[in-house]
Amino acid sequence: MRASLTILALVAESRREPLLAEPTLRRRNTAACDTSVRPWHPGRPDRRDIPILDRLRRMAVSASRVVDERSIPGEVVIDLDAGCWRSTSAAGYLRLFVADHCHDGTIAVVLTRFVVDHPIAVSGLIDHAFTETRSLPDWREQEATRTQPGFRTEGSSMQTGTYLGDDQIWFCALRYAAYRRGNVAYLLHATGTAPAAEPASFRASIAAAVSSVRFED
């Protein structure tokens, strides 16, 4: 993708196209399970305007991209129709899928492992999950939801919307999920994209697949 966004550049490196997707929950500009998250207002400054990867670098003692799933104590799982998606590979990705059967879409999964001091609240990363997409040209948000920390996670987010790139409209679905095991933490990031002209059912399937990505140990 041509936009200078760290989180979206991941797929662009392999496809040289912008990233896209659609909503799973039809609740506009709200946050599920977290009443402290305010609706987004374009142009309004926000204390959470630091991109999530910048926030991670500030809180981490060290951080690195995981590209070999054998190096983690578990597995990353995604629910998708294997008949519609072809698994491929590219440097820096844990998983990468490209749509088959006359559709145009990409789903990329990235996992970052980082070390933190014990007092650090890893769940604070999710406060920054929506920042970079909201700076995309003509970003139109359809969903922005998050969950609070639970038994096995430090919280997660799901965001969908459309934006303008390369003279066309793109649909984008993004999910972040944070995990912590002692002083080792993981940030799981999934991005699904497709041209907004793709059928609504296909865009919905991208969003559903992205929202299903999880780390199981």
Model's pTM, two decimal places? 0.78
Q: pLDDT band at residue 49, thresholds of 50, 70 and 90? A: confident
Tens digit of each residue's pLDDT (9 = 90 or more) over 147-200: 999 888 999 999 999 999 989 999 999 999 999 999 999 999 999 999 999 999
Question: Which residues are within 8 A (CB) of 136 and not within 5 positions of it... i.e. 6 or more apart?
Answer: 3, 5, 8, 163, 164, 165, 172
Taking the domains of the chain in order of start, what are their residue ranges? 6-190
Q: How much is the pLDDT for 43?
A: 47
Token pair recorded at residue 141:
């948000």
How many angstroms from the chain centroid is the CA of residue 96? 13
Mean pLDDT, rounded, of the chain: 81
Token pair recorded at residue 212:
């299903």
> Is the predicted pLDDT of residue 28 greater than 50, yes or no?
no
Q: How much is the pLDDT for 194?
A: 97
